[in-house]
Amino acid sequence: MAATDFLQRNREQHLEELMDWLRIPSVSAKSEHKADTGRAADWLADRMREAGLQTVEVIPTAGHPVVLGEWRGAPEGAPTLLIYGHYDVQPPEPLDEWTTAPFEPEVRDGNLYARGSVDDKGQVYLHVKAVQAMLADGGRLPVNVVFCVEGEEEIGSPNLAAFLKANVQRLACDAVVISDTTMFAPGLPSITTGLRGLAYMEIRVQGPSTDLHSGAYGGAVVNPANVLARIISQLHDERGRVNIPGFYDRVRELTAEQRQAIAALPFEEEGLRKEVGAPKLGGEAGFGPLERIWARPTLDVNGMLSGYTGEGAKTVLPARAMAKVSMRLVPDQDFHEVERLFIDHVQSLAPEGVTVEVLALHGGQPWHAEGGGPVFDAAARALEQAWGRKPVFIREGGSIPIVQAFQETLGAPVLMIGFGLPGENAHAPNEWMSVENFQKGAEAVALMYEELR
Ligand code: BES
Ligand code: MN
Ligand code: MN
């Protein structure tokens, strides 16, 4: 096919371009990178224009801009696909754990190392290249395409829901296509049918007005660090279940068929254990690791801060203690409701002698879809052609806060075809994307368009 030939011929060039984009540190969480996120958006808009998209705009929001690119040259009545992704990246810290600098991309052993390589610039860019390949030499796409690439996914997409609502007409589509997830195993193409939701909280415990000598006052003053530890220790029971009243009320249990489908996947617990490097895996009793990650809600401390943590010993009774706590949610939990349950429960655990403040930082709804439909089926066939294996249907434990909103606001089904791989170090030092997956992903997307002809 002409498009796959184009992608193979220009392989090196496309990789070089992606590396240019990766050099722009578009860290959405940090205001010092405000100009960089803008530059990353402009860079993408320029490449979209070169790819042959007809209308490309960088649209400001209250936060970082949205890049919108449209090609609407398909025959009358043809469907429209909306391609969503994000050009913002996570902060690269801790820097000293990177083998090469996070914003100086390098290929080693067939993997492209850089912050944002797989999450999500590489996966967005392969879509741009697939469209370019289809349009090259006077070619056409069988469907209209609209790219919607945001710069705030990694901070919870605070402005995108409003953007969708304000642009429902323009973004109207028959399906949303997203590449921002991972394949189940190398060489095994995967379609993701579920993501967890998220409720991200902060607990602040304040005791005395200042740090105190732990000998001179300890025992007579309530210690905020002790209190926080005690609160956190009560948030799970002995079976690893979340101990917040009402937390499981809306949880949809896995059906027998769903459990069988998960059990049929080629998965070794020991492989996962090795991947994470922990002495043993653990979690909610009665479920296997994939069930726990994909279909069970969880509560995890993400960070804690209190008292003296420097070298040696310092006898001090800290004035305050803080913890960041996130909960991953599954259908049909609602993150607003879970935030409320968490706040009320933590407040009920607060003893006298301290003040406890609980804040909701951000959240997103869980998503699950049965799949099926013309775009879904075309993608399955295209993935099979590209990898020579039928795709597996998986869920993932991560969250993309806007996915459920796409489905609700635009009324379109969401297709998730991810090209990451296990161990890709997203959000961690030494993030990488397989160069082969970047290439094959672009070819698979072009084949999907061909299948829709
Ligand atoms: N691409 C990820 C989502 C993801 C992670 C999908 C793992 C599949 C597996 C996305 O960029 C992400 O990191 N989402 C955040 C949510 C956000 C509000 C910070 C997450 O899941 O923590
Ligand atoms: Mn992502
Ligand atoms: Mn991410």
157 and 182 both lie in a single domain: yes
pLDDT for 208 equals 98
Last residue of a domain, one of 343, 361, 379: 361
pLDDT in tens, 226-272: 999 999 999 999 999 999 999 999 999 999 999 999 999 999 999 99
Confidence bin at 439 (pLDDT 50/70/90): very high
Which of 115, 119, 294, 328 to mutate to test ligand 1, by most ligand atoms within 8 A of the CB atom? 119
Band of pLDDT at residue 371, cut at 50, 70 and 90? confident
Record the tokens describing residue 15, joined without a space: 């990789």
Computed on alpha carbons and rounded to an integer, the radius of gyration of the chain in Å comes to 23
Q: Is residue 208 located within the same domain as residue 185?
A: no
Q: Residue 398: helix, strand or coil by DSSP?
A: coil
Q: How close is the Cα of 155 to the center of ligand 3, in Å?
A: 9
Cα 28–chain centre separation: 14
CA of 362, nearest ligand number? 1
Residue 324 CA to ligand 1 center (angstroms) comes to 17
CA nearest ligand 1 atom 7, residue: 398
> Ligand 3 mean position to 89 CA, how many Å?
7
pLDDT level of residue 370 (50, 70, 90 thresholds): confident
Residue to mutate, 88, 327, 400, ligand 1, most ligand atoms under 8 Å from C-beta: 400
Query: Is residue 289 situated within a structural domain?
Result: no
Question: Before 245, cis peptide (omega within 30)?
Answer: no
Exposed, middle or buried by CB within 10 Å (0-12, 13-18, 19+), for 389?
Answer: exposed
Instruction: Give the pLDDT band of residue 85 (cuts 50, 70, 90).
Output: very high
Which residues are within 5 Å of ligand 2 (an ion), measured at CB? 119-120, 180
Distance 399 CA to ligand 1 centre (A): 4
> Residues 53, 172: one domain?
yes
Q: 35 alpha carbon to ligand 1 midpoint, in Å?
A: 23
CA of 136 to the centre of ligand 3 (A): 32
Nearest to 130 by CA among 425, 419, 420, 424: 419
Atom 16 of ligand 1, nearest CA residue = 399
Cβ(119) – ligand 1 distance below 6 Å: yes
One domain for residues 178 and 201: no
What does the alpha-carbon distance between residue 451 and residue 101 come to, in Å, rounded to a whole number?
Answer: 40
- Residue 328 sits in which domain range? 197-250+294-361
> Which residues touch 119 (CB under 8 Å, ≥6 apart)?
89, 90, 180, 420, 424, 426, 427, 431
Ligand 1 lined by 194 (C-beta under 6 Å): no
Determine if ligand 1 sits within 6 Å of the CB of residue 400.
yes
Residue 88 near ligand 1, beta carbon < 6 Å: no
Cα-to-centroid distance, 293 and ligand 1 (Å):
13
Separation of CA 400 and ligand 1 centre (Å): 5
Q: Are the beta carbons of 221 and 285 closer than 8 angstroms? A: no
273 part of a folded domain: no
**CA 431 to centroid of chain Cα atoms:** 14
54 and 179: one domain? yes
Give the up-direction half-sphere exposure of residue 218: CA atoms within 13 A in the CB hemisphere: 10
Pick from 115, 178, 180, 419 the residue to mutate for probing ligand 1's pocket: most ligand atoms within 8 Å of its CB: 180
Place of tokens 């003053």: 221
Q: What is the mean pLDDT of residues 170-179?
A: 97
Identify whether residues 346 and 396 lie together within a single domain: no
Which CATH number characterizes residue 394's domain? Answer: 3.40.630.10
Residue 178 has pLDDT above 90, yes or no: yes
* Residues 205 and 346 both lie in one domain: yes
Q: Are residues 94 and 173 in the same domain?
A: yes
Using the predicted structure, report yes or no on whether residue 383 has a pLDDT greater than 90: yes
Q: Is residue 287 included in any domain, yes or no?
A: no
Q: Are residues 13 and 125 in the same domain?
A: yes
Ligand nearest to C-alpha 402: 1
Q: Is the CB of 199 under 6 A from ligand 1?
A: no
| pLDDT at site 91 | 97
Ligand nearest to the CA of 302: 1
The minimum-distance atom of ligand 1 relative to the CA of 200 is 18
Residue 13 lies in a domain: yes
In a domain, 288, yes or no: no
**Residues contacting 376, CB < 8 A, separation 6+:** 175, 191, 413, 415
Statement to judge: residues 216 and 186 lie in one domain: no
Check if 153 has its Cβ closer than 6 Å to any atom of ligand 1: yes
- Partnered with residue 267 across adjacent β-strands are none
Per-residue confidence (pLDDT) for residue 268, from 0 to 100: 95
Share of the chain above pLDDT 70, in %: 100
pLDDT in tens, 190-237: 999 999 999 999 999 999 999 999 999 999 999 999 999 999 999 999
Nearest to 62 by CA among 146, 200, 162, 166: 162
Please report whether residue 269 resides in a domain.
no
Q: How far apart are CA 312 and CA 273, in angstroms?
A: 33
Residue 417 scores a pLDDT above 90: yes
Is 291 a residue whose pLDDT tops 90? Answer: yes
Looking at the fold, whether 186 and 70 belong to one and the same domain comes out as yes
Average pLDDT over residues 369-393: 96
Within 8 A by CB and 6+ apart from 348, the residues are none
Inside any domain, residue 268: no
Tell me if 140 is assigned to some domain: yes
Q: Which of 361, 387, 419 is the last residue of a domain?
A: 361
Instruction: Residue 291: count other Cβ atoms within 10 Å of its Cβ.
Output: 18
User: Is the CB of 431 within 6 Å of ligand 1?
Assistant: no
Total tally of structural domains belonging to the chain: 2
181 close to ligand 1 (CB < 6 Angstrom): yes
Which among 361, 382, 398 is the end of a domain?
A: 361
Q: Are 61 and 159 in contact (CB under 8 A)?
A: yes
For residue 154 and ligand 1, the question of a CB distance below 6 A is answered with: yes
- What confidence tens digit (pLDDT) does each residue in 327-359 have? 999 999 999 999 999 999 999 999 999 999 999
pTM: 0.95
Same domain, 175 and 78: yes
Nearest-10 crossing angle of helices 34-51, 122-135? 20
Number of the ligand 1 atom closest to the C-alpha atom of 427: 13
DSSP class per residue in 215-273 = TTTBTTB--HHHHHHHHHHTSB-TTS-B-STTTTTTPPPPPHHHHHHHHTS---HHHHH
Give 398's Cβ-side CA count (13 Å radius). 16
Could you tell me the pLDDT band of residue 69, with boundaries at 50, 70 and 90?
Answer: very high
If you measure from the C-alpha of residue 89 to the centroid of ligand 2, how many angstroms do you get, rounded to a whole number? 8
181 Cα–ligand 3 center, Å: 9
For tokens 């999500």, name the residue: 120
